Structure 1
Amino acid sequence: MRNQSSIVGRKSVPAKKSKSDFKEATNISRCLLTLLGLWLSENPTKLLKKVLLDLSIVICYFLIFFLLIPCALHTFIIEKKPKKQMKMIGPMSFCVMALIKYFFMIIRREKIRGCLHHIEIDWRRVESLEDREIMVKNAKIGRFITSLCATFMYSGGFFYRTILPFALPRKLLPDNTTMRPLPYPVYRPLFNSQNTPVYEIVFTTQWFGGFVIYTITVAACSLAAVLTLHACGQLKIVMSRLNDFVENSVGTDKTLTSKLGEIVDLHFRALQFAVKIEGLLNEICFVEFIGCTMNICFLGYYLITELEQGEKSWDNCIHDKLVRTSREECEWFDYTSGHVQLSSDNYSWKNGGVVICHFLQCS
């Protein structure tokens, strides 16, 4: 812990305030990760909590595979028209993206916990109001980005999975049965999804499956936003400390050495945290980048084929909104890479140090 008396002209921050600030900075991420079974408790030895977390993971996997497997079987076995197959590959690719990202998030649960613990320690180390203002500002930006992503993703998913199936007309089959639409088609040899109450069960399960894949997407974006902006805040604090050191370089050699040591310690922790983020998010960002690029291409194909027919269907309008969200996420992951790099370059330019922060290179 740094010596509070060495920070000249800075007002101190109460310890309770730092603890509440950390909870506020990570509250959205905590909710999302808890739903996915990825938020490890402070006391991991409690058997009940471990069982509930593992049960959440099993349920999430079941819901994703319930969407993906019947839809894939129907698309590639039952459906013979290439255009209709292409129309279903887009939504399936979104499920595959969520499945891969969820897999990497699960195997890196300890790294997620380590990064969040690092952030908690940084909040506890805050000893001046100036440093707290920098961290609070970056935390607010992270929460705003997470909220924006959640708004677009959940609203688009709500219309696609709730409004669209009831808005589409029902088809009458040759055997005088009514075909009720589902968000994802189902492979009929597995079970007949049109009978009651099978239809209601399948519809509800698909709805919750969609909620899971949207939560995975928002959680990945939330982690990138919160962790990246925290790293940027730490680099800004280093720059602020260096400016104060240059402008107020008055005192004994021992005092100046102590202040410089604190700056070096902050700088080292910021770089160490950036390395942790890279190890956590590399594959997730790569999957997001490739998947969003594919979805944008599929969207262009869907729009071209629909315009050739002289109409644009409701499902493509809603899918348009979902893929625009994917494009914004892709741009955000690319922005996070440049934002930390720019903060690092700015630090080098203003203070003469060399800060190499190869962060989220895959974006």
Structure 2
Amino acid sequence: MRNESNILEKIPEPTKKSKSDMKYCTTMNRWFLIPIGLWPIDSDAKIFEKIFSETRIVICYLLILFLLVPCALHTFINEKNPRLKMKMIGPLSFCLMAISKYCFLVRRRNEIRKCFDHVFIDWRRVNLPTDREIMLANAKLGRFIASLCAVFMYSGGFFYHTIMPISAGSYITASNITVRPLTYPVYDPLFPAKNSPSYEIVFVTQWCSGFVMYSITIGTCSLAGVFVLHACGQLTIVMNRLENSVTSSKKSSDDMFENRLSEIVELHLRTLGFIFRVERILNEVCLIEFVGCTLNICFLGYYFMTEFERADTIATVTYCVLLVSFTFNIFIFCYIGETLTQQGKKVGSTAYMIEWYKLPGKDARGLILLLAMTNYPCSITAGKMAELSYSSFCGVLKTAMGYLNLLRTVVL
């Protein structure tokens, strides 16, 4: 990949407007990434800030493990009822998804910081009002996607971690022991949670763990949305400049056209480099999301049907909200992947559809490199095995429904 410092000859100093635009673009990312320690810290940050960030990461790991380990031990050692065991496999898979995504994102923190630096530089280089409008429109869409994802995920999490266990109420076992339900059952030999204050401690800790896991999911979605839509905005700017280049060439010298074309090619290469970096950050996370959402949609569909048959209104609504949340989440990834792919193809179409045949032969040959680069469309993949697109979203739903039918046949 070409070094960006060779492409950018001069980086303008940040202005009040560019700082405001950068803040607007990344506000949602800050909200969701700072609590889980993934918001990038400058290399010259104070030692206290670095320690505090690392501490948050350790706490997040411990909170997720506090859910995962005791619940897994209870499910596979203590629990003998196959239906109840099946009911906990879905939440356990979500825990595994969350901690796996978190591991990859923590490992890619430097890459994430470089991507944000890239975005900030692009905002500082904005000169034309039309370019700023394009970038603001894409930033607004990225904020909207992150907000919508947060509403769905936090709503489902609140129902699952708060409303459902409280509404279930306590019950007395045959041994005359009062049991108050927890969102995630725990392994008693490891940590008994039947009596106060251990029950309250476990309940609150599980609630915090759920907040961390949903924040990881939302943070991942917000990162993908902001980065990919920013790249789409840059590709739109490339297309606008291509369309204007031929018109301007009729009123200017060949040297000026070559300079404009050189700037267009450099901007295109810079954007492709940014997309390559984003793909490197997200491809493992998208694979986890791809596989995990397929399984979770299947399990949530099963839980929804079983609770609906039991006429448990709270549980039915909870699983319905979670089902919509996970479906929306994987749709967002596929949507931004499809948008990026189509935008990359449009650059080639625009380069071909402009009146290049009216240019001198020497100038027209300058478009060959751009056309050649667009033969390899930009895309975001799930583990470099499947492109995220509308067709892959349909594939996820079909696979999930197939697993659900199998589950109904075997278990119900």
Greater Cα shift, 74-83 or 157-166: 157-166
CA RMSD of aligned residues (A): 2.0
Residue 72 of structure 1 corresponds to 72
Q: Which residue of 1 aligns with 2:377?
A: 357
CA 1:89–1:14: 2 relative to 1, 3 Å: closer
Q: Deviations over 1:97-118 (max 9, x none)?
A: 0010000000000010011111
For residues 1-363 of structure 1, what are the structure 2 equivalents within 5 Å? 15-249=15-249, 250-306=251-307, 309-312=309-312, 314-352=314-352, 353-354=371-372, 355=374, 356-362=376-382, 363=388
Query: What SS does structure 2 have at the residue aligned with 1:35?
Result: coil
Does the residue aligned with 2:194 lie in a helix, a strand or coil?
coil
CA distance, structure 1, for counterparts of residue 19 and residue 160 of structure 2: 40
Q: Which runs of 4+ in 1 moved over 6 A?
A: none
Q: CA deviation at 1:164?
A: 1.6
Preserved CA contact (<8 Å) 2:74 2:187? yes
% identity of equivalent residues: 48
Aligned-pair CA distance for 1:357: 3.3
Return the offset for 1:15: 2.6
Stretches of structure 1 lacking an aligned partner (at least 5 in a row): 4-12
Q: Report the CA distance between 1:2 and its aligned residue.
A: 7.3
Asked if structure 2 preserves the Cα contact closer than 8 Å seen for 1:242 and 1:351, the reply is yes
Q: 1:44, 1:50 within 8 Å by CA — same for their partners in 2? A: no
| Cα deviation code 1:273-321 (max 9, x no counterpart) | 11011101000001001000001111232244445x5534533431221
Is contact 2:344–2:378 with CA below 8 Å preserved after alignment? Answer: no
On the 8 A contact 1:32/1:215 being kept in 2, the answer is yes
User: In 1, Cα distance between the equivalents of 2:34 and 2:285?
Assistant: 19
CA distance in 1: counterparts of 2:56 and 2:218, whole angstroms:
17
CA distance in structure 1 between the aligned counterparts of 2:132 and 2:62, rounded to whole angstroms: 43
Q: Secondary structure at the match of 1:223?
A: helix
Q: Matches of 2:127 and 2:15 in 1, distance apart?
A: 9
- Cα pair 1:271 1:357 within 8 Å, conserved: no
Question: What is the distance in 2 between the residues matched to 1:320 and 1:68?
Answer: 23
Equivalent-residue separation in structure 2 for 1:234 and 1:261 (angstroms): 16
8 Å CA contact 1:239–1:347 kept in 2: the answer is yes
Mapped contact 1:146–1:222 kept (Cα < 8 A): yes
Cα separation, 1, equivalents of 2:246 and 2:270: 21
Partner of residue 10, structure 1: none
Q: How many residues align?
A: 355
Which whole-Å deviations, capped at 9, do the CAs of 1:77-128 have from their partners, x for residues lacking one? 1100111101011111111100100000000000100111110111111111
Stretch moving more, 206-215 or 251-260 = 251-260
CA distance in 2, matches of 1:14, 1:240: 24
Alpha-carbon contact 1:292-1:323 (below 8 Å) kept? no
TM-aligned CA deviation for residue 166 of structure 1: 1.4
Residue type of the alignment partner of 1:209 = S
SS at match of 1:248: helix
Deviation at 1:14, TM superposition (A): 8.4
> Offset at 1:358?
3.6
Task: Measure how far apart 1:192 and its partner are.
Answer: 1.9
Question: Structure 1's 306 and 160: CA in aligned 2 closer, same or farther, altered over 3 A?
Answer: closer
Partner amino acid for 2:201?
I
Quick check: 2:301–2:323 contact (8 Å CA) kept in 1?
no
Between the aligned partners of 1:235 and 1:178, the Cα distance in structure 2 is 62
Distance in 1 (CA, whole Å) between partners of 2:82 and 2:9 is: 65
Structure 1 residue identity aligned to 2:287? F
Could you tell me whether the CA contact under 8 Å between 2:111 and 2:281 is conserved in 1?
A: yes
Residue identity in the other structure for 1:241: R
8 Å Cα contact 2:35/2:56 also seen in 1: yes
How many Å separate the matches in 2 of 1:222 and 1:90? Answer: 24
The structural deviation recorded for 1:68 is 0.7
In 2, the alpha carbon distance for the partners of 1:149 and 1:303 equals 21
Segment of structure 1 superposing worse, 38-47 or 113-122: 38-47
CA deviations over 1:222-266 (Å, ceiling 9, x no partner): 011000100000000000111111222121222211111111111
Q: Which has the higher contact order (CA 8 A, sep 6+)?
A: 1
Q: Is the 8 A contact 1:277 1:359 kept in 2?
A: no
Amino acid at match of 1:190: L
1:146 and 1:241 map into 2 onto residues whose CA distance is 30
